[in-house]
Amino acid sequence: MIWFTPAPAALVPPLADRLRLERRVDRRVVALTFDDGPHAQGTPAVLAELARHGATATFFLVGEQVVQRPALAREIVAAGHEVAVHGFRHTLLLRRRVAAVADDLDRAVAAIGEATGVHPVLYRPPYGVFSSGALAHVRARGWRPLLWSTWGRDWERRATPQSIARRATRRLGPGDVVLLHDSDAYSSADSWRRTAAALPSVLETVATLGIPASSVTQST
């Protein structure tokens, strides 16, 4: 069924390419991305580690989390990082009509804009899963959909800082987009702690490549 065609694109690179769904960036950087925040403990822990290494990142924010913690969303921007849209509610798009997706995105952008003054156009769907209708709608808005090329699978209950760093940096190179999470709002409890503990190793690996750890679109 056409509605489900884009769904596996995050895991099937040829499908992502065919649908023109970006998984990498055309810059000599490693783009760090964090989903599901802002989180009361996880986001500050990640921000502190990024600051210690002089790195920037893109935070795909969930509107309902921004509503709860607007000051933390502002802190992300004040620290020089990029904010992007991950929806208002963290719900699989395959289960939503386009009108419901449109309403959700309107609410997300409004929440992020009110908290930060930024109106982002970079978007990643919950779980990285698009429906055909949602993908068409996002593009009709003029937004840029982005998936990822490597991930730490840091949401898993059995993940460790070592496994997260190893997976996130496997065959890492210029242009890679790394998916991590600064929140456990939609994953295993305390997963953010393991991500924060893995981040120094991830950043040190990027440093060995001689390129910056950067946000997706902002200048380094």
Whether 182 is in a domain gets the answer yes
DSSP 8-class letter at 121? -
Mind telling me the catalytic residues? 35, 181
Res 166: pLDDT: 98
CATH number at residue 204: 3.20.20.370
CA distance 139 to 163: 35
Res 219: pLDDT: 56
DSSP 8-class letter at 126? G
* Cα dihedral 42→57→208→152 (10° resolution): 50
* CA distances to 35, 42, 71, 151 from 184, in Å: 10, 8, 19, 16
Whether 5 is in a domain gets the answer no
Q: Are the C-beta atoms of 44 and 59 separated by less than 8 Å? A: no
Res 159: pLDDT: 97
CA distance 85 to 120: 7
**Number of domains observed in the structure of the chain:** 1
Domain containing 41 equals 24-214
**Within the chain, which residues score under 70 in pLDDT?**
1, 219-220
Whether 97 is in a domain gets the answer yes
Whether 7 is in a domain gets the answer no
Whether 173 is in a domain gets the answer yes
Whether 17 is in a domain gets the answer no
pTM of the model: 0.97
